[in-house]
Amino acid sequence: MTKEIPVTYVPARNSIFLSLAASLAETQGAEAIYFGANALDYSGYPDCRPEFIEAFEEMMRRGTKVGVTKGSRAIVVRTPLLRLSKAEIVRLGLQLGVPFESTWSCYEGKEIPCGECDSCILRAKGFREAGVEDPLEKSSLRAKKGDRSLLNQSEKRPVPFFASATLGTPPRNDGKRYA
């Protein structure tokens, strides 16, 4: 892989998430972990690549009780978005009724998406190539003009999407200040 690792790389982030999921899966007797990684546009992240996922499955085969007692592939990692383009992910989300207005991609942690970070740019590219308007962009534009009605409709801040979850909790946008 010759691509550079993006500056938005978070050290060992997906190893941490998958380790927590593996512990829960083994405790619950689950046979699969579903992981929203995408390697097509984000292949610069080493922990979104197919070889990382295969290695993690191998780790579970060797390093968990269920792995060593039940044999190979006791817990598998399923990655339905891994090889889809952003446009294909948007189309799939529309088919499934994903509330895109309640999803979040931005890395900046502000009240509205910055529209400039890699994640915002890739999200915009996905919607543009899918030929649909991003409902979050519409509400953000209105918020920038001072109309906060759309952003204030929900108590909740939009949640991360496109495998861009972060370890922090995004700031709330209900107008109150939190320590």
Question: Least distance in Å: CB of 153 to Zn ion?
Answer: 21
DSSP letters along 61-130, please? HHHSHHHHHH-TTSSEEE-TTTT--HHHHHHHHHHHT--GGGEE--SS-SSS--S-SHHHHHHHHHHHHH
Question: Least distance in Å: CB of 111 to Zn ion?
Answer: 12
Rounded to a whole number of angstroms, the distance between the first and last alpha carbons of the chain is 42
Which of 117, 122, 132, 150 is in the footprint of Zn ion by CB under 5 A? 117
Contact call for residue 120 and Zn ion (CB under 5 A) = yes
Q: Report the residue number, 108 or 129, with the smaller CB distance to Zn ion.
A: 108
Contact call for residue 114 and Zn ion (CB under 5 A) = yes
Phi, psi of 148 (to 5 degrees): -100, 10
Q: Among 23-31, 87-95, 110-118, 153-161, which window interacts with Zn ion (CB under 5 A)?
A: 110-118
Question: Least distance in Å: CB of 127 to Zn ion?
Answer: 14
Question: Least distance in Å: CB of 109 to Zn ion?
Answer: 9
CA 15 to chain centre: 14
95 is written with which tokens? 């088919």
Q: Among 39-47, 62-70, 76-84, 114-122, which window interacts with Zn ion (CB under 5 A)?
A: 114-122
Question: Least distance in Å: CB of 163 to Zn ion?
Answer: 15
Q: Report the residue number, 18 or 120, with the smaller CB distance to Zn ion.
A: 120
Residues within the interface to Zn ion (CB under 5 A):
106, 108, 113-114, 117, 120
